Amino acid sequence: MSASAPTLASAARALMLRDLRLLWRRRGDALQPALFAVLVVTLFALALGGEADALAGVAGAVLWLAVLLAGLLALDTLFRGDAEDGSLEQWMLAPVPLGWLVAVRTFMHWATTALPLLVATPFLAELMHLPRGQLPVLMASLALGTPLLSLLGAVVAALTVGMRRSGILVALLALPLYVPVLVFGAGSVTASAQGLDPVGALLLLGAGLVVALVLAPLAAAAAIRIALN
Amino acid sequence: MTPPDRPAPPLLQARGLRFARNDEPVFGPLDFSVDAGEALLVQGDNGAGKTTLLRVLAGLLRADGGEIDIDGERTHAARRARAIAYLGHLPGLKADLSALENLDFLCGLQGRRRAQLPGHAMAIVGLSGYEDALARQLSAGQKKRLSLARLWLSPAPLWLLDEPYANLDLTGIELVNRMVQAHLRSGGAALVTTHGAYAAPPVRTRLLVMQRPGLEAAA
């Protein structure tokens, strides 16, 4: 039978196109994580009294925390919708590996939830009076750290996808995995504020990202197969 | 040319296939085979394990024992995906995408017969004019028809149809029968579950009657 079997690239393209279309249809929802992070940062700035010196000291940690919490907020939407309407079943029946589709979906989720935050970070940093010299370190740590958070989150989201309402469980499972990322991410900014070399922390984040890139999609795919049993 | 004394292996053959949930047998051991150009009608009461059997065959569930051969070759779940198209209870449609966008995505994911176009398939299942309707606006029967269009586009030779007649009107039931007939004529095969209330497609049919665990009989 003459047929066009999907290749890895064509399946990824189809999935990306679908996610972009869905994002456009629900563009109000898409802004949620970014608005949440703006809210957190603004409230921190207000609570700390708006003094430039007080804010500058904690700016790196607050920005990292805001991004992490916003990502956690969006985590449950990663696979839940696709599990409920049966899309995940069709993914599992596709002739391409489930791990690949999970990786593509996680990338799109990162690109639509974390990437807007990365773009907004310089403005939020200004709001928090982050010293300009620390901004490149902050951006670098977020650029390495947010994909790592998304990949770790994908495993947790996949584990809980079989549950009707996972609620707080996702957060409880994800937080211990997020802690090292937060420590090294925020730590790199603190180190550069103290005049130390932040490269070590950034390299560790990069190493974590490489390991997660290889292992997390496989783990998440296995978790989805178990959860949908 | 294949020598006449060696007939072609069946498209799908299951030997000693069984599945248990929490040590409680759901079905099996089952032995059956389906040749190209044949339909296997899986009949049984509610809870007899029809859906579970189809999910095991599709590779969504892992069998607890037994073998599944496709075209005479032992396969594991991941390899079977290429040969199998599955129509389950969940349509797998995104509510916020239009009918045609849904079809485009599923074709991109699962492949498509070269000669067939999504728009054409929608006309075959009686959905022309609904291309731009959002999936959330379609009725249950129309969603089923859209899933049938996906099946029609799929390059897989083996169709697993779980209650394909559910939610369909009389012309829809007629449509399923005609589609199965055409698919079988072109060398495919189909497994159709039904609880017996509907007319079977007028094709060469084998029957597999499933009962609650322990009492399976294959004819």
Query: Does the structure show a pLDDT above 50 at B218?
Result: no
Q: Kindly list the distances between the CA atom of residue B197 and the CA atoms of A35, B44, B166, B170, B171, in Å, as whole numbers in the listed order.
A: 54, 11, 10, 13, 16
| Residues of B in Cβ contact (< 8 Å) with A15 | 105, 108-109
Cα–Cα dist B29/A208, whole Å = 46
Query: Does the structure show a pLDDT above 60 at B28?
Result: yes
Neighbouring-strand partners of residue B194: B43
Calculate helix-pair angle for A135-159, A168-193, nearest 10 degrees. 160
| Residues of A in Cβ contact (< 8 Å) with B109 | 6, 11, 14-15, 90-91, 94, 96, 101
* Mean pLDDT value across chain B: 83
What is the pLDDT at residue A179?
94
Cα–Cα dist A196/A188, whole Å = 9
At A94 the three-state DSSP class reads coil
Q: CB under 8 Å to B211, separation ≥6 — which residues?
A: B44, B45, B48, B217
Token readout for A178 is 């997020």
Q: Phi and psi at residue A194, in whole multiples of 5°? A: -90, 5
Q: Is A5's CB within 8 Å of B82's CB?
A: yes
Task: Please say whether the beta carbons of B15 and B32 come within 8 A.
Answer: no
The mean pLDDT value for B8-23 works out to: 86
Could you list the pLDDT tens digit for every one of the 229 residues in chain A? 445 678 888 899 999 999 999 999 888 888 888 899 999 999 988 888 878 888 888 888 999 999 999 988 888 889 988 988 889 989 988 888 999 999 999 999 999 889 989 999 999 998 888 888 889 999 999 999 999 999 999 999 999 988 877 778 888 899 999 999 999 999 999 888 888 988 999 999 999 999 999 999 999 999 998 888 7
| Residues of B in Cβ contact (< 8 Å) with A224 | none
Q: Kindly list the distances between the CA atom of residue B37 and the CA atoms of A79, A198, B158, B184, in Å, as whole numbers in the listed order.
A: 38, 67, 10, 4
B33-71 residue pLDDT tens: 888 888 888 888 887 888 889 988 888 888 888 888 888
Q: CB under 8 Å to A27, separation ≥6 — which residues?
A: none
Interface test with B, best of A2, A16, A17, A90 (most B CBs within 10 A): A90
Q: Return the residue of A nearest to B57 by Cα.
A: A93
Give the DSSP letter string of A60-88: HHHHHHHHHHHHHHHHTTTTHHHHHTTHH
Task: Select the residue of A10, A21, A228 nearest B108 (Cβ to Cβ).
Answer: A10
Q: Kindly list the distances between the CA atom of residue B41 and the CA atoms of A95, B35, B50, B155, B180, in Å, as whole numbers in the listed order.
A: 26, 13, 10, 22, 12
Task: Please say whether the beta carbons of A15 and A101 come within 8 A.
Answer: yes
What is the pLDDT at residue A156?
93
Domain positions in chain A: 8-227
**Chain B contact for A95, CB < 8 A?**
yes
H or E, element range at A185: helix A168-193
ipTM score: 0.84
What is the pLDDT at residue A4?
66
What is the pLDDT at residue B4?
52
Task: Read off the amino acid at residue A87.
Answer: S
Token readout for A92 is 């599992």
Kindly report the pTM of this predicted structure.
0.88
Task: Read off the amino acid at residue A93.
Answer: L
H or E, element range at A227: helix A199-227
Task: Please say whether the beta carbons of A35 and A66 come within 8 A.
Answer: no
What is the pLDDT at residue A54?
83
pLDDT band at B77, cuts 50/70/90?
A: low
B91-143 residue pLDDT tens: 889 989 999 999 999 988 888 888 888 888 888 898 888 889 999 999 999 99
Rg (CA), chain B: 17
Structural domains of chain B, with CATH: 12-218 (3.40.50.300)
Task: Please say whether the beta carbons of B195 and B45 come within 8 A.
Answer: yes
Task: Please say whether the beta carbons of B46 and B195 come within 8 A.
Answer: yes
B148-201 residue pLDDT tens: 999 999 888 899 999 888 888 888 888 998 899 999 998 889 998 887 655 666
